[in-house]
Amino acid sequence: MPEWNPMQLKAIQTKERNILVSASAGSGKTTVLIARLMDLVMKDHVSIDSILAMTFTEAAANEMKKRLATELQKALTAARTEEEKSYITRQLTGIQTAHISTIHSFCLSIIQEYYYILGLDPQRIKSIMDNGTMVLFQQQSLEEAFAKQYQLQDASFLQLCQMFSARAENDEALRTMIMNLAGLASSKSDPEAWLDSLAENYHEKHLLEDLPKEIYENFFEYLVVQTARYEETLIRIDELYRLKYDDQVKKHAIVEQKLLALQDLHQALLNQDYQAYRAAFLAIVHAVVPPSPDKEDKEYARLRKSLLALEDAQLEILFSEDEFMRDIRYLYPYIKKLVDMCRDYRSAYARIKEEHKVIDFDDMEHFALEILQAKGGRVADIYREKFVEIMVDEFQDSNDVQNQLVMLICRKNNVFRVGDIKQSIYGFRHAKPSLMKGLIDHRGEFDEVIYLSNNYRSKKMIVDFNNDLFKLLMNIDGFSCSYAKEDDVETGVPAQNEDNVPICFHAVYHNEIKEAEGIIVSKNELKASYIANQILEIKEREQRKWKDFVVLVRGNARKDDMKKIFDELNIPYFIDIKYGFYQSNAVQVILSAMKCILHPHDDISFTATMLSPLFRKSTMDFAQAKLQKEKGQSYYSWFCEHPFPGFEILQELIFQNGRLRISELINKLYEMQDYYRLHTSIQEKTNLDLLFEKAVQFEDQYASGLSSFLSQIEQIKDAQTAEAIPIGAEADVVRVMSIHQSKGLQFPVVFLWSTDKQTPIEFKDFCISDSELGLAMKAMDLPQRYVRTTIPRIAMEHKKDKEELEEEMRILYVATTRAQTQMHIVDCILELDAYKHPLSMSQVYNRNGYTSWILQTFLCNPSPLFTVKEVHRLWHSEVQQAEAGVYHPFRVYEKPSKSIELVTASAQEARELPAFTFDDDMQGSDYGTMMHKMIEALQAPIWSRAVILQVANQQLVELKEWDIQTLLQLGKDPDYLSVYRGDVHHEMPFMVKDGSQILHGYMDFVSIQNDRMIILDFKTDSLKEDAEFIQRYKGQLAMYKKAMHILYPKHSITTCIYSLHLHRMIAIS
């Protein structure tokens, strides 16, 4: 039985109240949730089927069921009476069918139970669209909506098209706007009412006070922020005059005069008097701050430049009130047209889904709401009676629809919500942390808020570091997020106070290193290399496992940087690239080949296919073709006149197009050059399996050919389709993940890839939208296309800017609360002195990034919790040897089982990295693959030149004279001839279990002679000494030997390397 702290105990035991638990990171909220469930079931005898528990993800729901089952099993073991055992057994039996699920799953259960109330087809609710189908149907719906408007040809639509694009035929921006608008509408409990309100915001508005309150207040808040930024910059210039230029009286007087005049601005803002504000600002900017008295004073020049930029930005938008209001009335018909088109799109999309008998996730929520509200709320009454307790996990990420659903079925005092506003990071999913904040700030008669403020995850220094950082950052004036007294966290157990190390900021001096080492390297490459080096150092020094480490990045692009360096250093890793399936190399190769078969005269797909491992042509071949082919002639046409060995295979596939099923064609491509088996990693094989599966699904759904399949791929490949995942949670690999992916997880050692700049939101779109403020367009005079901003636009841009910055603070909070024992923050900087001034609202709005936020906090407030490691010189990282194999779990059953690791033998190679490099040259591995293929195909020696050339032609391989001589020498080598006896196997596969691991791979050559076995590995490396080969490959050969000893325990096993470079056999003792 855990020792609960008082607040945890209160959260577990308080009943007949609406409880909101604010649970900080690492406070054990999931454990508390399970304990409350157990308390309800065991103490209050509330049956499991009378509880509704909604989670954010399926994984969280399954984990909750699993942990609840474990606790109930313990209770069953301890039960004394038959009645008690019978009751607990019933609860255990009911767990799998209990309402412990995501909110979407619960909504689906409502629809499946009461679909007839809305007259839904029962077949439809069984089919949930995948992303690809959804994108196709959305495109069809847009086509319908636009076709209707093009047919009507009314003036407002045509002018709307002109506003969105200077090219009348380009309506992509307008289409995107309609999709965004429809998405926002779907997040509302009443989409139609929300759409109605959009045009109303622009209808018959004559005064600022006529505008909706939210627009009006955000507009003035923008003016307040800009005035504060302006004032702060002026004050810093004034300080420079007082400290350095006290003799420049006239120049200083201009600055002082401007500072004094700011009082008029503040008074106008206090009264929300726009006309007075405009007049005061125009008066202030009339006097220009003079240039620096010292031309070498870079700080003064920078501040003056910032001040002038702020003045120019304000002057561009401060139109008169009459002009502002006239533009708002002018935009009304265009807003109305946009809303009408959104309605047409939604209607078409709903009809297409109904025709195809499918639903999406938005349908689940809205159909469930409609059912609960139908017939006077009869179904809602049933659920209200049924559920004694309603539990909502991750409440900070709920939206309006989800909250409304809970409110429809709850009683006055039976909702238990758990969340943490500081971890609300899903704004792009329309999450509304303001819902949770509203419940905290405005509590009803039956409401109670409980704070879990003990952290059980992190060492004390990490806990205190986060307290200090976010007390300052989240409490900066001008932002709505806050770090209240109740958010201040303490450690939960004494062990957290032991063996602490400070949080370390690694300041990598990029420019210094480049100049000192004379290398050309980007900041991102340097940071990736440094992080990898630190992981290697810490692992060796502290004897840690690879899975102790995680690298947290803000976006997917940085994952690619880490992937590249980990590949170079042979560090085992797992990187889940969310956008990666259609962009993965293996899938691109196959898709290019399919396009080439469909359109052989398309030079791009033809060239990509020929240069790929499927045909292995060289760039020199294409350079020669380019010089010799006629102008306008396709490469395919030229190669038809000048064919090479294997070109007939492509021609045959082109001929067979239309006769082969798509899946058969893909299978043939996988078999070419043994591409699937020899040229792809485990990750790529998994991706190719998924591509094959998609082809089969397409064939089942459509009676169309290759052209339609590729068209579908083109339409959906921009959707975020993740790579197929071939790895389990317990694999001993370094994880690289986005901060969003890390939420809810913890790791002993965390590396945060930090940045000193945040990309500002680019408001280039002609029209933008917001769930609260509605739509905001710029005003445009046609046909000249003169553009002016508008009050709704200013208000909305400010709101989005502010909300994104607040979310970035919360994302940083998630990142810095993942670490258990060590927190490392890495970035490239120019100098530390640039961060030695206090953090302020202006600094945050300047978007200076995590690095500035952290360094400004702790350099201005020195603390033993935080240390800076300055890196001025390059480092050296050695490639990992045998222990650094790439591990993947081998799972056969879905039921819980002990994790078995899959270990590839080839990963046991040890390589020396000659010097720090970012080159990526694959020619060596390509050459090795070619020679292995030739040796396998040649079979028994001795070979003649004619035989070698004949086999090369069959294998679509082009050999140089050196290659032919190498094979001739191998064929007559006495040591090779001596082992080519008995039962000989080329490319012999194996897979054996060794304890908790699966050893698997392919051996180049195996000879089994009675009770003796010889394992031979061919190597093409350009090494000079036998010892070098042995050092590099002994780990790989040792694994082969280990695996064969398991399969052939009575055999004497010898391992050798044959160097095709040295032309000799090398025995490994």
Residue range 91-140, pLDDT digits in tens: 999 998 899 999 999 999 999 999 999 999 999 988 888 777 888 899 99
Same domain, 286 and 210: yes
Distance CA 23, CA 17 (A): 18
How far lies 177's CA from each of 431, 656, 799, in Å?
20, 43, 18
Distance CA 286, CA 303 (A): 18
Distance CA 738, CA 729 (A): 16
Query: Is residue 826 included in any domain, yes or no?
Result: yes
Q: Return binding residues.
A: 23-30
Other beta carbons less than 10 A from residue 1050's beta carbon: 6
Q: Angle formed by the axes of helices 321-355 and 191-200, to 10°?
A: 150
For residue 1017, the model assigns a pLDDT of 93
Question: Which residues, including other chains, have CB under 8 Å from residue 555's CB and lie 6 or more apart?
Answer: 738
Whether residue 281 is predicted with pLDDT greater than 60 in this model: the reply is yes
Same domain, 638 and 527: no
For residue 892, the model assigns a pLDDT of 25
Residue 998: band (very low, low, confident or very high) from pLDDT cuts 50, 70, 90: low
Residue 682: band (very low, low, confident or very high) from pLDDT cuts 50, 70, 90: low
* Domain limits for position 294: 129-358
Check if the beta carbon of residue 94 is closer than 8 Å to that of residue 110.
no
The strand ranges marked E within 471-617 are 490-491, 503-509, 549-553, 573-575
Higher pLDDT, 251 or 1024: 251
Q: Which of 658, 685, 716 is the last residue of a domain?
A: 716
Query: Is residue 945 included in any domain, yes or no?
Result: no
Whether residue 699 is predicted with pLDDT greater than 80 in this model: the reply is no
H/E stretch holding 102: strand 99-102
Whether residue 898 is predicted with pLDDT greater than 50 in this model: the reply is no
Give 359's strand partners.
128
pLDDT tens digit string along 73-82?
999 999 999 9
Question: Which residues, including other chains, have CB under 8 Å from residue 326's CB and lie 6 or more apart?
Answer: none
DSSP 660: B
Distance CA 701, CA 298 (A): 66
Higher pLDDT, 373 or 957: 373
Whether residue 41 is predicted with pLDDT greater than 90 in this model: the reply is yes
For residue 542, the model assigns a pLDDT of 96
Q: How many helices (H) and strands (E) does the chain have?
A: 40, 26
Q: Which residues of 534-560 are buried (b: 16+ CB within 10 A; e: fewer)?
A: bbbebbeeeebebbbbbbbbbeeebbe
Between the two ends of the chain, the Cα-to-Cα distance in Å is: 56
Query: Is residue 494 included in any domain, yes or no?
Result: no
Reading the block at residue 969, the tokens are: 């020498």
Q: Identify residue 371 by its one-letter amino acid code.
A: I
Query: Is residue 349 included in any domain, yes or no?
Result: yes
Same domain, 992 and 1025: yes
Distance CA 424, CA 21 (A): 15
For residue 883, the model assigns a pLDDT of 40
For residue 888, the model assigns a pLDDT of 32
Distance CA 175, CA 766 (A): 12
For residue 901, the model assigns a pLDDT of 43
How far lies 694's CA from each of 133, 587, 702, 1025, in Å?
11, 12, 12, 49
Question: Which residues, including other chains, have CB under 8 Å from residue 756's CB and lie 6 or more apart?
Answer: 827, 829, 848, 849, 850, 851, 852
Least Cα distance to 776 among 226, 113, 368, 214 occurs for: 214
Distance CA 710, CA 704 (A): 11
User: Mean pLDDT, to the nearest integer, of 270-290?
Assistant: 95
Q: Which of 661, 683, 716 is the last residue of a domain?
A: 716
The count of domains in the chain is 5
- Whether this prediction's pTM lies above 0.85 is answered by no
pLDDT tens digit string along 201-255?
999 889 999 999 999 999 999 999 999 999 999 999 999 999 999 899 999 999 9
Query: Is residue 254 included in any domain, yes or no?
Result: yes
For residue 192, the model assigns a pLDDT of 94
Same domain, 310 and 189: yes
User: Mean pLDDT, to the nearest integer, of 150-158?
Assistant: 89
Q: For position 1052, which CATH number holds?
A: 3.90.320.10
Distance CA 665, CA 145 (A): 37
Tell me the percentage of the chain whose pLDDT exceeds 90.
60
H/E stretch holding 323: helix 321-355
pLDDT tens digit string along 305-318?
999 999 999 999 99
Which of 46-50, 310-314, 1022-1026 is predicted with the least confidence, judged by mean pLDDT?
1022-1026
Q: Identify residue 978 by its one-letter amino acid code.
A: S
Helix (H, G, I), strand (E, B) or coil at 824: strand
Mean of per-residue pLDDT scores for the chain? 88
**Three-state secondary structure readout of 578-599:** CCCCCCCHHHHHHHHHHHHHHC
Other beta carbons less than 10 A from residue 171's beta carbon: 19
Q: For position 403, which CATH number holds?
A: 3.40.50.300
Residue 913: band (very low, low, confident or very high) from pLDDT cuts 50, 70, 90: very low
Sign of torsion over alpha carbons 361, 367, 369, 371:
negative
- Label the pairing between strands 734-738 and 549-553: parallel
pLDDT tens digit string along 1033-1061?
888 888 899 889 888 888 999 999 999 98
Residue 728: band (very low, low, confident or very high) from pLDDT cuts 50, 70, 90: low
Q: Identify residue 931 by its one-letter amino acid code.
A: M
Distance CA 401, CA 407 (A): 10
Check if the beta carbon of residue 345 is closer than 8 Å to that of residue 142.
yes
Q: Return binding residues for ATP.
A: 23-30
Residue 908: band (very low, low, confident or very high) from pLDDT cuts 50, 70, 90: low
pLDDT tens digit string along 759-778?
878 788 899 999 999 999 99
How far lies 772's CA from each of 206, 441, 800, in Å?
21, 20, 11
Q: Which of 295, 330, 358 is the last residue of a domain?
A: 358
Q: 285-291 — which CB contacts under 8 Å span 24+ positions?
A: 285/311, 285/314, 285/315, 287/254, 287/257, 287/258, 288/254, 289/234, 289/237, 289/254, 289/255, 289/258, 290/251, 290/254
Whether residue 152 is predicted with pLDDT greater than 60 in this model: the reply is yes
For residue 703, the model assigns a pLDDT of 59
Q: Identify residue 373 by its one-letter amino acid code.
A: Q
Least Cα distance to 421 among 400, 401, 441 occurs for: 441
Check if the beta carbon of residue 753 is closer than 8 Å to that of residue 554.
yes
Whether residue 919 is predicted with pLDDT greater than 50 in this model: the reply is no
Same domain, 354 and 449: no
User: Mean pLDDT, to the nearest integer, of 968-975?
Assistant: 88
Query: Is residue 443 included in any domain, yes or no?
Result: yes
Residue 973: band (very low, low, confident or very high) from pLDDT cuts 50, 70, 90: confident
CA angle 792, 798, 803 (to 5 degrees): 125
Higher pLDDT, 944 or 409: 409
Least Cα distance to 566 among 840, 832, 907 occurs for: 907
Query: Is residue 294 included in any domain, yes or no?
Result: yes
Q: For position 625, which CATH number holds?
A: 1.10.486.10
Whether residue 276 is predicted with pLDDT greater than 90 in this model: the reply is yes
Reading the block at residue 862, the tokens are: 């020195």
Reading the block at residue 224, the tokens are: 């307040």
Same domain, 316 and 264: yes
Which of 391-405, 660-674, 891-905 is predicted with the least confidence, judged by mean pLDDT?
891-905
For residue 422, the model assigns a pLDDT of 93
For residue 684, the model assigns a pLDDT of 77
Whether residue 588 is predicted with pLDDT greater than 80 in this model: the reply is yes
Same domain, 826 and 693: no
Query: Is residue 479 included in any domain, yes or no?
Result: no
Q: Which residues of 842-880 are buried (b: 16+ CB within 10 A; e: fewer)?
A: bbbbebbbbbbbbbbbbbeeebebbebeebeebbebebb
Same domain, 353 and 364: no
Same domain, 249 and 352: yes
Give 484's strand partners.
none
Distance CA 235, CA 262 (A): 11
For residue 905, the model assigns a pLDDT of 54
For residue 960, the model assigns a pLDDT of 83
Distance CA 42, CA 34 (A): 12
Same domain, 99 and 141: no
**Three-state secondary structure readout of 255-267:** HHHHHHHHHHHHH
The greatest distance separating any two alpha carbons of the chain, rounded to the nearest whole angstrom, comes to 103
Whether residue 579 is predicted with pLDDT greater than 60 in this model: the reply is no
Check if the beta carbon of residue 981 is closer than 8 Å to that of residue 1007.
yes
Same domain, 535 and 639: no
Same domain, 133 and 122: no
Reading the block at residue 658, the tokens are: 């239309």
Check if the beta carbon of residue 987 is closer than 8 Å to that of residue 974.
no
- Burial of residue 668, with CB atoms counted within 10 A of its CB: 0-12 exposed, 13-18 middle, 19 or more buried: middle
Distance CA 531, CA 140 (A): 47
Distance CA 821, CA 409 (A): 43
**Tokens 């591509």 -> residue:** 691
